Amino acid sequence: MFVGLWLNDYESRLFSDPAGADLHMTTGSGRYSASGRLSYFFGLQGPSLTADTACSSSLAAVHLACQSLWTGESTLALAGAANTILQPHISVAYSQSGMLSPDGRCKFGDARADGYVRSEGAGLVVLKPLAAALRDQDRIRAVITGTCLNNDGMTGGFMTTPGQKGQEQMLRAAYRRAGVSPGQVDYVEAHGTGTRAGDPTEIGALGAVLGEGRSDGSRCAVGSVKTNIGHTEAAAGLAGLIKVVLSLEHKTIPSSLHLERPNPAIPFADLPIFIPTRRLSWPRREGPAVAGVSAFGIAGTNAHVVVQEAPPPPSVEEARAPRAYALPLSAAGEGALRAMASRYRERLDPTGSHRSLAHLCYTASVRRAHHDDRVVAVGESPAQLIEQLDAYLAGQARPGLVSATRDPRHQGKPVFVFPGQGSQWLGMGRELRAREPACRESLEEMDRAIREEAGWSLLDDLAQDADRSRLDEIDVVQPTLFAVEVALAALWRSWGVEPATVVGHSMGEV
């Protein structure tokens, strides 16, 4: 799902696009919405839509993206937003109506709060089911455990006046869906515009809800990124979400700026919340840290997202690190290739983790264009790859270092060759199944078919030790070889390698 901003001559329109291009929307000037354009450009084929709930638009889009993931409609979603002020008309109108802060400062919760501050910004988050992210060893920044989207209805008295009752209902629903007691929440990133009407209503709703289940007398910190960067309007909710994710990662609650004298209309002393005026360490408690993010639209559409700190990486990660890493580099010309090798050599950290090295090699392999002049360095650690690149730059030949120039006039095409019985070995497929999703999914599919047809488990047999292995039995080894060869082909194809020809002998002919 992607969310962003579509601009025309006189206004900006927010859009959200859940991983595809099934829906195109046009503006008044007849141009295609950016959601459809981006879905077309990237070839995304899931739901694609445009959402406009004013200043809660980007967090509403995150809510829609999560719904799409939780229902299985999408497997990965992009949610983003942008706000650009290209012409003065809206700012002039807001200024004349007294909506903007005269001194250009957002004073959330302060007695001097006198309006909001317009600003520009853009951001994007990648969302994926937690189980899939853990399986694929993605870097997980935080976990969204619950969301809610509602409207104040008539609880505010006027359409553009915030309603405390509606906000309370939204907060309770979000925490209920997340399976979290409001008393567990350590920090809330408020909508926090610094206005006379908005601040007392929002802080009142937070105070009414966050006290539930807080028997230890603790108070929840509440802040607003708008005191730092202003109000990015349609992108404001996403700005708050990114701030919360970074706060969870650094276990730090930033201060909220420009609070000198608390608003006397807000009974802070009676509420289980406070606005921090200095940087704080995240409170220590049993279980993962929990935070919330709010965004409100001028027409009463409210959004709240419950965010939890990321789970620790699997302890087996380093133990399962591959025996070697291949770092492929290519450029258009030998001089450019040497310059690139030098930059990578500077980028590599001799003390870096296997995870960061794996990400670097993966990106160099599949996220960069491949040219005719190439070098591949192979090593078991960042330090070894540095040695290999030093050798290449010095013109030295050594094992694990291959450089070549491809002649574009004689481009070979890949051929998949599948061997027959006798190529099996004890332990085959185990590491690939653990590390490579494409290989794992293919083996699991073969396992289901073999269970149904033959009544035994391919995966169980591949995991057996020497004493229990049945790879010497003809009715086991042949289906096993077939399954492993199909899985290897799936792995190569997931890397973008498509065969021009497929050949095989004996069992490989299948």
Catalytic positions: 55, 191, 231, 506
CA-CA distance, 387 to 453, in Å (whole number)? 52
DSSP 8-state symbol, 3: E
Helix (H) / strand (E) element for 373: namely strand 373-379
Q: Which two tokens stand for residue 346?
A: 């500077």
CA-CA distance, 496 to 370, in Å (whole number)? 12
60 contact partners, CB below 8 Å, separation of at least 6 = 16, 51, 53, 149, 237, 295, 297, 301, 303
| Contact predicate 429/462, CB 8 Å | yes
Q: Residue holding tokens 């807000």?
A: 266
Q: Residue holding tokens 């960061």?
A: 356
Helix extents (H) in 138-219: 164-178, 198-210
* Bridging pattern class, strands 12-17 and 401-405: unpaired
CA-CA distance, 383 to 386, in Å (whole number)? 5
- Helices 164-178 and 198-210, axial angle in degrees (round to 10): 40
Helix, strand, or coil (residue 250): helix
Residue among 198, 187, 295 nearest 246 (CA) = 187
- Residue 87 to residues 10, 11, 193: CA-CA distances in angstroms? 7, 8, 22
CB atoms under 10 Å from CB of 66, counted, come to 23
